[in-house]
Amino acid sequence: MTHNNVSLENGTEKFWSLHLDTFSMSLFLGFIFLFIFIRVAKKAKIENPGKFQLFIELIIDMVDSHVKDIYHYNKKSRLIVPLALTIFCWIFLMNLMDLLPVDLINFVNHRVGIPEAKWRIVASADVNATFAMSISVLFLIIFYSIKAKGFGGWIKELFSAPFGIAFAPINFIFQILELVAKPISLALRLFGNMYAGELIFILIALLPWSVQWLLGVPWAIFHILIITLQAYVFMVLTIVYLSLATESH
């Protein structure tokens, strides 16, 4: 379970190494998402939509109705729905890679002739991928707080809520904890689920081949639920956090 590392700088500084597997897989899946959705969006027909268009519309409608239910600050926001849609589809596709056989990549590596390459195919089982999204969401939370309350209002709320201005230091600590806990919980929940799921698949793969299906099939079926649920939870919590950011305490 080690990554395919590419060092961007000379030297051995750990920070400047790139997980090429995570980066390229997520980029590839992101482009697949964009390719499919842009193609459907361009060819979308008002009347007699095809089955695939209806499927895409189903996803769009699901995301849109959640945003309409949860997010009330700016009904005409041009960011929230695309953001939620991107999060849901991208995470779902990254999670979906979990269902590919764990030995497939090693098999391909051996065939191609680079058996030493460690290629992790599930990008969302890398904290860098999950924290990248949750930290982007954190920035958006701060941005929307300031947009809704003004910079002064936001700073004031950091010190005055929830106990009143008399307890300013305690309030500030609470607020910062709350703010920091959001991206951490978002990122670690997704990472933990995917990492553990992948780990269990690897453990199952260590069993004798004749009994692998006994555990592998139920776990894979269960995992279909997990990967959708995790993508859904990340999307809904993002909308909830952004909605909370615009409401004053």
Partner 1 sequence: MEINVTIIGQIITFVILVLFTMKFVWPPLNKMLEERAKKIADGLAAAEKGKQELLNAESKVAEELKHVQLRATEIMSNAEKRANQIVTEAKDNATKEGNKILEDAKLQIEQEFMRAKEELRLKVATLVISGAEQILKAEINKERHELILANLKAEL
Fill in the per-residue mask, 152 to 191: x = in contact with partner 1 (CB under 8 A), - = not in contact: ---------------------------------------x
- Size of site (CB under 8 A) for partner 1: 46
Nearest approach, Cβ of 20 to partner 1 (angstroms)?
A: 9
Residue span binding partner 1 (CB under 8 A) among the ranges 131-139, 151-159, 215-223, 227-235? 131-139
Residues 199-238 that bind partner 1 (CB under 8 A): none
Closest by Cα among 246, 247, 191 to 79: 246
Between CA 35 and CA 40, with CA 39 as vertex, the angle to 5 degrees is 120
Based on CB atoms, which residue is closest to partner 1, 86 or 228? 86
Residue span binding partner 1 (CB under 8 A) among the ranges 39-47, 152-160, 165-173, 219-227? 39-47
Which DSSP symbol is given to 121?
-
Q: Does residue 38 bind partner 1 (CB under 8 A)?
A: yes
Q: Does residue 16 bind partner 1 (CB under 8 A)?
A: yes
Amino acid at residue number 163: F
Q: Does residue 135 bind partner 1 (CB under 8 A)?
A: yes
Residues 40-59 that bind partner 1 (CB under 8 A): 40-42, 44-47, 56-57
Which of 11, 78, 112, 152 contacts partner 1 by CB under 8 A? 78
Based on CB atoms, which residue is closest to partner 1, 9 or 169? 9
Active site residue 189: yes
Place of tokens 């982007």: 136
| Residues whose CB falls within 8 Å of the CB of residue 8, separated by 6 or more in sequence, listed in order | 16, 17, 18
For 4-10, the CB contacts below 8 A with 24+ separation are 4/117, 4/118, 4/119, 4/120
Residue span binding partner 1 (CB under 8 A) among the ranges 121-129, 154-162, 201-209, 235-243? 121-129
For residues 39-78, one letter each, b for 16 or more C-beta atoms within 10 angstroms of the residue's C-beta and e for the rest, the string is ebeeeeeeeeeeeeeeebeeebeebeebbeebbeeeeeee
Q: Residue 162: is the preceding peptide bond cis (ω within 30°)?
A: yes
Distance CA 217, CA 148 (A): 49
| Residues whose CB falls within 8 Å of the CB of residue 243, separated by 6 or more in sequence, listed in order | 70, 71, 72, 73
Closest by Cα among 119, 142, 141, 131 to 238: 141
Binding footprint of partner 1 on the chain (CB under 8 A): 8, 14-19, 22-23, 26-27, 30, 33-34, 37-38, 40-42, 44-47, 56-57, 60-61, 64, 78-79, 81-83, 85-86, 90, 126-129, 131-133, 135-136, 191
Tell me the catalytic residues. 185, 189, 193
